[in-house]
Amino acid sequence: MRANGTAAVQEQKVRVMLCHNVTVARIGLRTIIEGEHDMEVVGEADDIESGLSLIDELHPDVVLTDLSGGRLDGLDAIRTIKNVAPAIKVLIRAYQRNGEYFLLAMRAGADGYFTRDAGPGEVANAIRTVNRGQNYLDLSTVTQLVTTFVAGNGKGGTTDQQYDGLTEREREILCLVATDHTNSEIADVLHLSKQTVHNIRARLMEKLGFHDRLQLVKYAIRRRIVGLEEV
């Protein structure tokens, strides 16, 4: 009760759902969030796909999820969330330090993206930013995108033109192949048949003019699609 006799209006906290397959990482993120006066953790799941079943029950404002270890399992789940509950904001905490994963996540419908190196203040700021309806991108990823753009403009070769001609699905498979995923694993991640993955992979290799995975990995590293630690 205020001094003038009117009731104080309780501030509505940002409701955050955590989706991360590493328990200690979830504990760390929960500690950061619960330490802020204007946000709270309303639930947790091992991954965003598991978290889909909790959306109706928890009614989160923001889903904070990981894309870790070079895996892109969560992209279809992000698309599903945006289809069934477009008001929910999806914030990615990524292992990868490169711009291509950011682009794939944002194409899938993510609202923000930061890497595992982000400090507590940046995590809280990212949550507030996407909750306000704005996109969030951490400085390290911005730097990587600018570097890649400048390097690409400097080369001006046909390879970059060929990359521009790849479909979104082909770019996803490029990332997965470069990070040593088999066709069976890619089929599971993207919910496709093994034959479909085989066909897309063959078309991808043909478009880029490659004949084996080693050429594709070198290309992915050169374009900074993946880092050496992810191969």
Whether the pLDDT of residue 95 is over 90: the answer is: no
What is the predicted pLDDT for the residue at 160? 61
What is the predicted pLDDT for the residue at 5? 56
Tell me if the domain spanning 156-230 has CATH number 3.40.190.10.
Answer: no
pLDDT digits over 45-77, tens only? 988 888 888 999 999 999 999 875 445 567 888
Confidence of residue 159 (pLDDT cuts 50, 70, 90): very low
What is the predicted pLDDT for the residue at 70? 45
How confident is the model over 190-208, as a mean pLDDT?
Answer: 89
Q: Of the CATH numbers 3.40.50.2300, 3.40.50.1970, 1.25.40.10, 3.20.20.10, which one belongs to the domain with range 14-141?
A: 3.40.50.2300
Measured in degrees and rounded to the nearest 5, phi and psi for residue 202 equal -65, -40
Strand pairing category for 14-19 and 89-94: unpaired
Q: Locate the DSSP E strands across the chain.
A: 14-19, 39-45, 62-67, 89-94, 112-115, 136-137
Distance (Å, whole) CA 182 – CA 68? 17
Please tell me whether residue 21 adopts helix, strand or coil conformation.
Answer: coil
Report which of residues 99 and 223 the model is more confident about. 223
- The structure tokens listed for 216 are 């594709």
| pTM value surpassing 0.85 | no
Distance (Å, whole) CA 209 – CA 162? 9
Report which of residues 161 and 58 the model is more confident about. 58
Domain ranges of the chain: 14-141, 156-230
Spatial contact of 186 and 197, defined as CB atoms under 8 Å apart: yes
Helices (H), 65-182: 74-84, 99-108, 120-131, 139-155, 158-164, 168-178
Whether the pLDDT of residue 96 is over 80: the answer is: no
Q: Which of 5-14, 67-76, 93-102, 116-125 has the lowest mean pLDDT?
A: 67-76
Distance (Å, whole) CA 119 – CA 116? 8
